[in-house]
Structure 1
Amino acid sequence: MASYDQISKNNWRYRISLGKNTETGKYEYISKTGFKRKSDAKHQAEMIERQLRNGDYIAPSSSTFKQVAEDWIKQYANDVKVSSVRAREKAIQHAIQHFNTKPIQTIKKHDYQRFVDDMSIQYSKNYVDSIVASTNMIFKYAYDMKLIRVLPIEGIKRPKKKVSVEELEDSEIHKKFLEKDELFQFLEVAKNHHSPQNSFEVFTTLAYTGMRAGELLALKWSDIDFENNIISITKTYYNPNNNKKHYQILTPKTESSIGKISVDPHVIQLLKYYKVNVQDTWKNELYVDNNFVFTDVNGYPLVIKKLSIWIQAIMKKTDITNKHISTHSFRHTHCALLIEAGVHIKEIQERLRHKDINTTMNIYAKITNSYKKDASQKFSKLMENVSKELF
């Protein structure tokens, strides 16, 4: 039961006993002053007592959004890979910067909507998805910890970003994968006009398998079945700081990422030749031999930044223009060429080890120009007789 006291004129207080704290042995209370009338204090006290009975009372807290976010990321780090933590940390920095020392209990739905709107103006849809998903986790954590009564994230609307004609044209021009003839030109330069002795092997393997760059750099010779032309994917390379001596070999992103890839026998022979005639010649007393396939001359796995530098150097020696090629582009290239070869979408999903076929379908939308032309030619041939009659 609550008790009520008049502290001074127009200033009433309610006081609710919570009983004795078993740990401290002291009695605890919830109290509040500042009510003009006793009836006002009573109304508030009865609401608090009802919340206590229902188990949904939220004690006043001065915890800031930043403090709660930092607590959440520590807990989150206990159950996931370091690469996932790194991605979440990057995403929530935007929310921390926006809300910072604002008490989390004072953040309302309209505050969060303003934040989402602001992010949607500044960044791409995919990146905003990551920011919003990560920030939502913080609020859900606060809700579970009984720091907030209501989730401000519910009912938030994502503004539809209007795309200009220039942006549409730009997205068509700057494709992120190589056509078949462009891939040939790229690999020809890597083989004959690029000084690193294993760049041709690196990019050929990426293009012919569709594996992720992290999976490629984690490959060990024991992962390659030379007899059956199969490469096993069981791990991924993680090195956000690109320090060749400080890297981690982690389990793949998802269970579906683990698998075996059938590889063109020519690629297997290329790797076998590279091992004997290139990598083995580097082995001396300074060579760190951990059985990795793609290493520098000292035996350390190549860093992804190095591959990116190689890509830019090779691209400058080709006639390929208006392309933004990255290590991941070879995965998209592999997918596009599989589509051009007529491989069924389900087989492509299994080969690329996509957990969700929608991911494969999204890449399908980036199909190569040559395949589009081929489809048009096939349709024209099919409709040839009809066209002659009509046109």
Structure 2
Amino acid sequence: MAEDEFKTIDNYKMYASQVFEFAIEKEIITKNPMDGVKIPKREDQFIVVQSKEGEKRNFWEKAEIKKFLEIVKTNYPFSDYCMFHLFIYTGARKGEVLALNRNDIDFKNKTLRLNKTLYYDKDNGYMFLTSKTFASRRLISLDDTTLGLLRKLIAGQNNGNVTHIHLKDDPNKDKLLFSRFDGHPLRIAYPNDKLDEIIRIYNLHSITVHGLRHTHASLLFEAGATIKEVQERLGHSDIKMTMNIYTHVTKTVKELTASRFEKFMESNDEVTEPEDALHEQNK
């Protein structure tokens, strides 16, 4: 089956899910039957292939991320810097980030709600659709640096006024975090175009916006996160998707694994036999 056919089926499922979500809101039904529906994956999505030397990688190493963020911070609008920071530090999908509003941020509990995506239809224009699967609708934790950037972004949009940032009655709570000057959503292709521009101008390793999501996952693994933790943070309904990323962890992880083994073998520490340990405890 062609890739376009898979995308069409995926869209049909998304539209059907929206109908059932509306029925739930109207208390016609209590559960969305589409939550349990899984679209068959292409065979190549189940084949885990180890990265080969020279194969194009669609993610960045930590040093490349730092260089990229410094370039954006120095040479581009603050909103662009915040947008790319969110991609890298949350692993959220492009449509999820573009659909974020202020009400999705809980500064007190340090969380970000991801439950919708920005979609463009040529007949109906921009729409905010509920995320397709239960796993996609999630609450993720935010670090202090990211929260600080979001506070600054919102304060800038409020002309320096931070009074309403923590208030539930914020009159702008439904305002998009990232939008055009007139308040309309950004073009869905905007992050792609901006990323391509920066990569071209500053001669960076070429990756896609989706590659930023891959980057986040890879670095989570490098930091010691479990497969289950990464699956939940990325909103993967199928753990095989997370496993595919796990096999493409950064070269730093691979080098650290060998380094740890080498250090262990070179250490002078002796392994204590169980009987000896018990004897020591009974002294």
Within 1, Cα distance between the matches of 2:174 and 2:107?
A: 19
Within 2, Cα distance between the matches of 1:354 and 1:231?
A: 17
Structure with greater Cα Rg? 1
Quote the residue 1:375 is aligned against.
Answer: 257
AA aligned opposite 1:381: K
> In structure 2, the residue corresponding to 1:302 is in which secondary structure?
coil
Quote the residue 1:138 is aligned against.
Answer: none
**1:342-390 alpha-carbon deviations (Å, 9 max, x no partner):** 112211111112112221111011101111111111111122269xxxx
Quote the residue 1:292 is aligned against.
Answer: 176
- Pair 1:223-2:156 in alignment: no
What displacement does 1:251 show? Answer: 1.2
What displacement does 1:240 show? Answer: 5.8
What displacement does 1:229 show? Answer: 1.1
Quote the residue 1:301 is aligned against.
Answer: 185
**1:162-200 alpha-carbon deviations (Å, 9 max, x no partner):** x9xxx95442xx210111110111111111112x44110
- Pair 1:207-2:91 in alignment: no
Question: CA 1:289–1:381 in structure 2 vs 1: closer, same or farther (change >3 Å)?
Answer: closer
Question: CA 1:308–1:379 in structure 2 vs 1: closer, same or farther (change >3 Å)?
Answer: same
Quote the residue 1:184 is aligned against.
Answer: 66
> Which ranges of structure 2 fall in alignment gaps of 5 or more residues?
18-40, 160-171, 269-283
- Pair 1:280-2:158 in alignment: yes
AA aligned opposite 1:275: I
What displacement does 1:80 show? Answer: 2.9
Q: How does 1:125-144 map to 2 (within 5 A)?
A: none
> Which ranges of structure 1 fall in alignment gaps of 5 or more residues?
1-68, 85-125, 131-159, 282-287, 387-391
Within 1, Cα distance between the matches of 2:71 and 2:267?
A: 45
Does the CA contact (< 8 Å) of 1:289 and 1:299 recur in 2?
no
Within 1, Cα distance between the matches of 2:211 and 2:231?
A: 17
Identity %: 37
AA aligned opposite 1:292: L
Choose the corresponding residue for 2:147, options 268, 283, 287.
Answer: 268
- Pair 1:328-2:261 in alignment: no
What displacement does 1:306 show? Answer: 0.9
Measured on the aligned residues, the alpha-carbon RMSD in Å equals 3.4
**1:28-69 alpha-carbon deviations (Å, 9 max, x no partner):** xxxxxxxxxxxxxxxxxxxxxxxxxxxxxxxxxxxxxxxxx9
TM-score, normalising length from structure 1? Answer: 0.52
**1:246-268 alpha-carbon deviations (Å, 9 max, x no partner):** 21111112111111010011111
What displacement does 1:303 show? Answer: 2.0
What displacement does 1:234 show? Answer: 1.3
Within 2, Cα distance between the matches of 1:240 and 1:128?
A: 29
Quote the residue 1:337 is aligned against.
Answer: 219
What displacement does 1:316 show? Answer: 2.6
Does the CA contact (< 8 Å) of 2:137 and 2:235 recur in 1?
yes
Within 2, Cα distance between the matches of 1:78 and 1:344?
A: 31
Does the CA contact (< 8 Å) of 1:206 and 1:216 recur in 2?
yes
Choose the corresponding residue for 1:366, options 222, 232, 248.
Answer: 248
AA aligned opposite 2:103: S
Question: CA 1:210–1:280 in structure 2 vs 1: closer, same or farther (change >3 Å)?
Answer: same
Runs of 4 or more above 6 Å deviation: 76-79, 126-130
Within 2, Cα distance between the matches of 1:129 and 1:350?
A: 23
Within 2, Cα distance between the matches of 1:78 and 1:331?
A: 21
> In structure 1, the residue corresponding to 2:112 is in which secondary structure?
strand
**1:81-135 alpha-carbon deviations (Å, 9 max, x no partner):** 2499xxxxxxxxxxxxxxxxxxxxxxxxxxxxxxxxxxxxxxxxx77879xxxxx
Choose the corresponding residue for 2:126, options 243, 247, 250.
Answer: 247
Quote the residue 1:93 is aligned against.
Answer: none
AA aligned opposite 1:230: T
Does the CA contact (< 8 Å) of 1:189 and 1:317 recur in 2?
no
Q: How many residues align?
A: 226
Within 1, Cα distance between the matches of 2:219 and 2:11?
A: 40
Within 2, Cα distance between the matches of 1:78 and 1:180?
A: 35
What displacement does 1:269 show? Answer: 1.3
What displacement does 1:78 show? Answer: 11
Does the CA contact (< 8 Å) of 1:290 and 1:299 recur in 2?
no
Quote the residue 1:235 is aligned against.
Answer: 116
Does the CA contact (< 8 Å) of 2:103 and 2:173 recur in 1?
no
Quote the residue 1:58 is aligned against.
Answer: none
Within 1, Cα distance between the matches of 2:10 and 2:52?
A: 39
Question: CA 1:373–1:231 in structure 2 vs 1: closer, same or farther (change >3 Å)?
Answer: same
Does the CA contact (< 8 Å) of 2:121 and 2:127 recur in 1?
no
Quote the residue 2:13 is aligned against.
Answer: 80
Within 1, Cα distance between the matches of 2:194 and 2:258?
A: 36
Does the CA contact (< 8 Å) of 2:101 and 2:173 recur in 1?
no
Question: CA 1:317–1:189 in structure 2 vs 1: closer, same or farther (change >3 Å)?
Answer: farther
Question: CA 1:221–1:366 in structure 2 vs 1: closer, same or farther (change >3 Å)?
Answer: same
What displacement does 1:236 show? Answer: 0.9
